[in-house]
Chain A
């Protein structure tokens, strides 16, 4: 029982942490940084560099 409660608690703590990270990332320009990387042809991905 205690083990299960610890797991549930850990899951909620991590969920809150990831939600905070996602929100902070979006607020501070993460979307634009990913977009800037995504809109070019990724020469790394296609092995042409």
Chain B
């Protein structure tokens, strides 16, 4: 098994180590929930130890929403505000956290740590017909970040991305219905089944298309994608060594042509291209202060 699979397994277990739940049926409520996990993982999962950065981002927008007192999320936000010194503190904390990772390594954690990315890598291995994703669909994740995860939570006080999130359904809703906690949960309604429908749609798409959710809908991937082109960690392609054989494109989990744009916002820095390149033309590293001989011809 490749090294990346091990880090993905480790990332999944690190995000969800609360196996005590199976015995106690009690959701973890300790201080670690104040930390965001550097990957896409639902904090409603009964095994989760950390908060989802996108859930926390939505919460930070809902806290300052003009509608907060008129919604369930608003009530929660008001409770959260009682001990708060400054209502924008959560926003600063979450954006600073996400931004620092993005500027350091771009989308590297999407490829190496994210549990939901790991699930997509596994699902795509299921044999059958495969589909390429049209380029325009990649803009969906930016809409997801700006509108569902930020603007709408601000305007309505409700975490609308979480309400529709397939990871929330897979890791939170279904496990909690199958193994309910000791606290009472509301009855299942039509919205639950809508969420299940969204999950089934994405699972089917993940089987057909490489990293479908990451590329078209993930708001965390979108935030890191915005910073990837200028991040400190960089990919390089030596134009003199590259023979344009296309092997890198074949193995790329996000279908990019790294020899055309080494630091593409889409690149999840899995290094599959680096391993597969027959001439060793693809390299990577923290070399921001130095000019590799090839950067002028290869880096966008």
Q: B125 interface residue, CB < 8 Å from A? A: no
Which residues of B are found within 8 Å of A30, using beta-carbon distances? 60, 89-94
CB distance from A20 to the nearest CB of B (A): 7
Which residues of A are found within 8 Å of B288, using beta-carbon distances? 7-8, 11
* Contact between chains at B93 and A36 (CB < 8 Å): no
* Contact between chains at B84 and A23 (CB < 8 Å): no
Which residues of B are found within 8 Å of A38, using beta-carbon distances? 33-34, 43, 50-51, 55-56
Grouping DSSP codes into helix (H, G, I), strand (E, B) and loop, the B interface class, with mixed when no group exceeds half, is: helix
Chain B residues numbered 88-111 whose CB sits less than 8 Å from any CB in chain A: 88-97, 99-100, 103-104
* Contact between chains at A49 and B168 (CB < 8 Å): no
Grouping DSSP codes into helix (H, G, I), strand (E, B) and loop, the A interface class, with mixed when no group exceeds half, is: helix
- Cα distance A46–B63 when bound, in Å? 20
- Cα distance A41–B44 when bound, in Å? 6
Give the most central of A1, A14, A34, A43: most B CB within 10 Å: A34
Q: B1 interface residue, CB < 8 Å from A? A: no
Q: B73 interface residue, CB < 8 Å from A? A: yes
- Contacts from A to B (Cβ < 8 Å): 1, 4, 7-8, 10-11, 14-15, 17-49
Known: A31-B93, A44-B163. 16 other contacts (CB 8 A): A4-B295, A7-B229, A14-B227, A19-B96, A21-B92, A30-B60, A30-B92, A31-B35, A32-B34, A32-B84, A34-B60, A35-B31, A38-B50, A39-B29, A45-B168, A46-B195
